[in-house]
Amino acid sequence: MRVINDITAILTGMWTTWKHIFRRPVTIQYPEEKRIPAPRFRARIILTRDPDGGERCVACYLCSAACPVDCISMQSAEADDGRRYAEWFRINFSRCIFCGLCAEACPTMAIQMTPDFEICKRDIMDLVYEKEDLLVNHGGKDPDYNFYRHAGIGVTQPRGSAATEDPPVDVRGLMP
């Protein structure tokens, strides 16, 4: 019985080898030949802009909080019109594991992953990207989304006065 099992295993292995002899090879001669990754492939990160050209990033730090390897850092600032932005924004790609959690966490769709995976460098310091290396002149995967059209720059009406809003709760009136 054991001999039969051994012969079956050998024949199965040989059949697998023979099947692959006549298949087209899948090897790609990179970098002369390139395979285009799927649009959702997670590689080089960009910072995108609103349809009106404004920077989407509001320097809320959510991406850096979500990053499991702490490779995002920034400094927030506020423009004269009250709009927040990142004074500087840095990603250390030598630590990035391209997990995409930063893009998932971003409320303004500012930070996005792209399929551009060709960012290898010999000098590890060249993998530290500053804001000018990250900020692009388009909206990336969702070009029509404009965070400020939904959220506004500041609240101009008193809270609770909008059509679908309840008045705020007076927490001091909530007696135990």
User: Where along the sequence are the contacts to ligand SF4 (CB under 6 A)?
Assistant: 57-63, 66-69, 71-72, 91, 96-102, 105-106, 108, 110-111
145 in Cβ contact with 139 (< 8 Å): yes
CB of 43 to ligand SF4, least distance (A): 9
Q: Which is nearer to ligand SF4, 49 or 72 (CB)?
A: 72
Q: Which is nearer to ligand SF4, 88 or 165 (CB)?
A: 88
Q: Which is nearer to ligand SF4, 87 or 165 (CB)?
A: 87
CB of 113 to ligand SF4, least distance (A): 7
Q: What is the C-alpha end-to-end distance of the chain, expressed in Å? A: 79
Residue 31: asked if its preceding bond is cis (omega within 30°), the reply is: yes
Closest by Cα among 131, 23, 119 to 72:
131
CB of 75 to ligand SF4, least distance (A): 11
DSSP E strands in the chain: the ranges are: 45-47, 72-78, 84-92, 111-113, 128-129
